[in-house]
Each structure stands twice: as C-alpha cells, then as structure tokens.
Amino acid sequence: MAVTIKPDREFLFTEKDFNYLRKVANDYSGITVSDDKYDMYYARIAKRVRTLGVGDFAGYCKYLKNNHAKEFTNFINSITTNLTSFFRENYHFEFMVSDLIPEFKKKYATKKSLKIWCTAASTGEEPYSIAMTLAENFDLKAWDIRFLATDIDSNVLTTARNGVYEEQRIANLSKTRKSKWFRKGSGENKGTVRVDKKLREMVSFKRLNLIQEWPLKNKFDLIICRNVFIYFDGPTKEMILERYHDLLNDGGYLILGHSESIHSMNTDYETIGHTIYRKTI
C-alpha cells in the first residue's frame, strides 16, 4: 500500500485503522476509497476522535464497532464528499429547457403530470436548480410535478430542507433569478439567502442509500444522478443503472455527471447528449 503514515500528527492513524474504516464505508455506501484518500480520512474523522475523546483512530474504530447505532450515521456523514453548486454543469439545464421540457409537455399534454428523482442531492443546490428550471417553464397550477431528492448523508439533507445558503453561493445567478427565487436574510441571518417557499415545497427530501433497498413504488420520467458514480466501482454502477432502468417510464431520461459516461457499458440506454441517456426498451 502506498499510504505514508504520519506519526507526528495529533492522533495516530495506522494503515490497519484506515483499512478498517474504508471497508466499513465501502460495505455500506459503495464508495470506493483509494490509498490517496488517507489524508482526507484523517482530516474528516479526526474531529470525531477529538469530540468523542477516544484517544486515537484505533480507539475510534473500536468505538464505531461497539456503538454502531449511535455513531454510524456520524461516520457516514463525515466521509461523504458533498461538493455541489447551483446550476453546476449548466449544459444539462440548457438541455432541459431546449429539449426535455418541450418533449414532456407534448408527451403528457393530457395527464399533465411528471415524476422526477434527483438521487445524490447533497445540500440541495442541484434539486433547487432543477426546481427553478421547472417552475420557469411549466404552469405549476396546471401540472402535477412530483419531485423526490435523496442522499445517503442526513446532514446535507437537513441543509437542503432548510434551503438557506451563503449569499455568495448564488453570485453567478442572474438578477432575475436571484430576486425571484431567493429571500435575503436580515439581522443574524445577514449574508445568507433562503430559497423561496414555492421551490422548497416542490421538492421532497428523503434519505436513501443507492446500494440498499429503494422504498419507491412509482416510476419516474427523469432521473438525475450526477457526480456520485465516480465513487462507485463497475459492478455497483451496473447494478444501479439496471435498477434505474426498471424505475424509468418508457422513454424516460437519465442524466449523469460530466465524467460519468456509460458509453462503453452494455446497457439499455441510448445516448442523447453528453451524459444524457434515454431508456430504449
């Protein structure tokens, strides 16, 4: 293993500790943890070692094993990478406006309903960007749009439900969008913005682990799963792609992150655009 142990750190973190923690993380979440994540694991979990007063990482491993119910969620929340932003990979939103929404409007002109699932929603910027795009292009009084957003990390879901962000996170949005969809905080909330109630009410946030059971009954017209496949190995991706396929309505769409092409994989999706796929059969 290429991990360089740094014994002069505040807490001892051995190769054995690292191997134990990354296996626990992988078994539960499917996230593969390469050797170069050793320092990242130290930085993320040292906080838990300090807070719990368990001495070092070996003490933390023991604590995690013996206090599974109490500590496991904290552990998982610590090791997820939640990087996201409003309108990240904007070409997907442009595609929604130019192609997807007009197609859905035509296809569902009579029933006027749509079901969408955002499967690695993180702190909410992505589902709210989708909600803004939908709200700007559909008559929400006439259309029944069901929008589910899920993530494995319970902390990010709390942030997402609140919909409160540092004002700087919306700096790149147009003036119109800022004033239409965000309310500025005042007093102790100065410097923050809150997503408008209308958008918050459009999205239902739930905790869901992509590699476990999905308590979902209804099918979706669009599944957005961006920038989480990069953490999974091939068989895990294939397994999830198959389950997405089962859960998509005929002709339903799947959108993945910019580096998550499934072009070379043997799947029943046709490629429509860059990391944009449609269920074929």
Q: Tokens 């029933």: give the residue.
A: 111
Position 226 contacts ligand SAM (CB under 6 A) = yes
Among 152, 160, 193, 241, binds ligand SAM (CB under 6 A): 152
Which residues have CB under 8 Å from 246's CB, separation 6+?
A: none
- DSSP string for 218-261: S-EEEEEE-SSGGGS-HHHHHHHHHHHHHHEEEEEEEEE-TT--
Give residue 12's identity as a one-letter amino acid code.
Answer: L
Q: Does the footprint of ligand SAM cover residue 160 (CB under 6 A)? A: no
The sheet carrying 164-166 orders its strands as 164-166, 192-195, 182-184
227 touches ligand SAM (CB under 6 A): yes
Chosen residue from 80, 133, 267, 275 binding ligand SAM by CB under 6 A? 80
Q: Interface with ligand SAM includes 209 (CB under 6 A)?
A: yes
Catalytic residue of the set 44, 177, 243, 278: 44
- Binding residue (CB under 6 A) for ligand SAM from 49, 114, 156, 247: 156
Contact set for ligand SAM, span 17-56 (CB under 6 A)? 29-31
Q: Where are the alpha helices (DSSP H) in the chain?
A: 15-29, 38-52, 57-66, 68-79, 91-95, 101-107, 125-137, 154-162, 175-181, 197-202, 234-247
267 near ligand SAM, rule: CB under 6 A: no
Least distance (Å) between residue 133 CB and ligand SAM: 14
Name the CA radius of gyration of the chain, rounded.
21
Which of 25, 210, 248, 276 touches ligand SAM by CB under 6 A? 210
Secondary structure class of 178 (helix, strand, coil): helix
Rounded to a whole number of angstroms, the minimum distance from the CB of residue 204 to ligand SAM is 16
CB of 210 to ligand SAM, least distance (A): 4
* Catalytic site residue from 17, 22, 151, 153: 151
Between CA 151 and CA 227 the distance in angstroms is 12
Q: Answer yes or no: 151 catalytic.
A: yes
**Residue selected from 151, 221, 245, 248 as contacting ligand SAM according to rule CB under 6 A:** 151
| Beta carbon nearer to ligand SAM, 54 or 148 | 148
What is the spatial order of strands in the sheet that 248-256 belongs to?
Answer: 203-207, 144-151, 113-118, 220-225, 248-256, 276-279, 269-273
Examine residue 228 and tell whether it contacts ligand SAM (CB under 6 A). Answer: yes
* Binding residues vs ligand SAM (CB under 6 A): 29-31, 80-84, 88, 120, 122, 126, 151-153, 156, 209-211, 226-228, 231, 257
